[in-house]
Each structure stands twice: as C-alpha cells, then as structure tokens.
Amino acid sequence: MRQFFKKYFTAGIIALLPIAGTLWLLKVLILSAEEFFRSFIPPQFLPENHFGFDIPGLGILFAIIFILLVGLLTRLYIGRRLFNIGDRLFGRIPLGRGIYSAIKQFLGTITGEERKSFRQVVLVEYPSPGLHALGFFTGYASGEVQAKTKVKVANVFIPTTPNPTSGFLLMVPESKLIHLEMSVEDAFKFIVSGGVVVKDYEKKG
C-alpha cells in the first residue's frame, strides 16, 4: 500500500506541478498588473467610490485602452513630436537614462530594424574548444579583415545574459559555424532566461 501510494502520488505531483505552476504564475501576473494599472485611475472614476462595488479587471481594461490610444497617437504627427520630446527628456535623467536606453535598445533589438540584421542563430566554439556560445550570424567580413585572413570569415554577435542588448563581435571562420534552425525570437528567449526557456526540437527528416 505504501509503495502504491508513493508511486502514484509522485506521478500525480509531477503531472500537476507544471499546470499548477502556470496557473499560479498567471494569477500573480494578472493580479499584479491589475493593481499596478488601477493605481493610475483617478479615484473619482473607480466604481467602488460611487456604487459600493468593485469591477474585476478594471485596471487591465484601462491599460488596454490606454495602450491603444498611445499606439494611435504615435501614428499622428503631433504624437510623434511629443514622444520625441519625451525621448530627449528621459535621455537626460541622471539615474533613469541608463534604464531607459537599455529597455529601448532591447525592444529595438527584438522587434525593430536591428533584429533584421540577425540573419540566423549559430553556435560557435567560445571561449575555448569544446565550449559553445549562442550567437547571431550578421553577415560576412569584408574589406581589410577579409583581405588579411586566409579563409572566409563570418561576423557573429554574441549577446550577454540576461541583457542581450550588450555583447561582443566575433569574426569566425565560416567552417567553424554550427547553423541552428532556432528562430531569432526563440534564441532571445533562451538567452534572457539563462537557458531555462528552451523550445522543443524535432529533427527534420
């Protein structure tokens, strides 16, 4: 009886933990977002101050409407002017400009034009033989670099964890690259999470 209970109880725990963990994390994120965005709503607009009852999800609804309005504003000339002014102001805040620029660079890297320069995810042997680093192939070397090397050289950007907006450039012989089928987005998730978030891989063919 003890072995039966131990065996199936353990199996049940293993089966339920991912589900329970996901639900718990979603609950924490949703409640935290609700509380955070609700704090931006003026008290006179909160239903509990007028009708004596609360409306669940009001903070998130407010956030969605606000984000949509901001997105609409960015498409207008006056909106772009205002955001350019705000961009310059945040760039001058002594303590905040570092955080602001890092977040902006990160978003630009994963969603903007900078991401398009990351053509493919690759593995390179670095920092020593037998060890591998995840990087992004950005193109081939040219000019003096290629002229003074004996083999075709590839440019590889190696991002750092957990902040992939910083990193360093390696110039690697093309034959030393291990090309991966992983998408750029999945590679960023892998790097930011420190290797925790890994997409399932099924070998083709």
For the chain, the structural domain boundaries read 117-192
Residue type, 133: A
**Per-residue burial over 142-169, b = 16 or more CB atoms within 10 Å of its CB, e = otherwise:** eeeeeeeeeeebbbbbbbeeeebbebee
Whole-number Cα distances in Å, 157 to 67, 71, 119, 190, 195: 33, 31, 11, 15, 18
> Which class does domain 117-192 fall in?
mainly beta
Q: Give the pairing type, strands 167-173 and 132-140.
A: unpaired
- Does the pLDDT of residue 84 top 60, yes or no? yes
Backbone phi and psi for residue 75, each to the nearest 5 degrees, phi listed first:
-85, -10
First to last CA, the chain: 46
Backbone phi and psi for residue 161, each to the nearest 5 degrees, phi listed first:
-110, 135
Residue 174 banded pLDDT, cuts 50, 70, 90: very high
Residue of 98 and 156 predicted with greater confidence = 156
User: 21-66, pLDDT tens digit by residue?
Assistant: 888 888 888 888 888 888 877 777 777 766 667 777 777 888 888 8
What average pLDDT does range 186-203 have in this prediction?
84
Residue 89 has what pLDDT? 80
pLDDT mean across residues, the chain: 81
Q: Give the pairing type, strands 153-159 and 132-140.
A: antiparallel
Residue 180 has what pLDDT? 93
Whole-number Cα distances in Å, 182 to 1, 63, 71, 134, 158: 47, 33, 31, 11, 15
Residue 107 has what pLDDT? 64
Residue 200 has what pLDDT? 81
- Residue 80, sorted as left (phi over 0), alpha (psi -120 to 50) or beta, turns out to be alpha
- Does the pLDDT of residue 156 top 90, yes or no? yes
User: 85-94, pLDDT tens digit by residue?
Assistant: 877 787 777 7
Contact 74, 80 (CB under 8 A): yes
Residue 135 has what pLDDT? 93
User: 99-129, pLDDT tens digit by residue?
Assistant: 777 777 666 655 555 555 677 899 999 988 8
Burial class of 178 by CB neighbour count within 10 A (0 to 12, 13 to 18, 19+): exposed
Burial class of 172 by CB neighbour count within 10 A (0 to 12, 13 to 18, 19+): buried
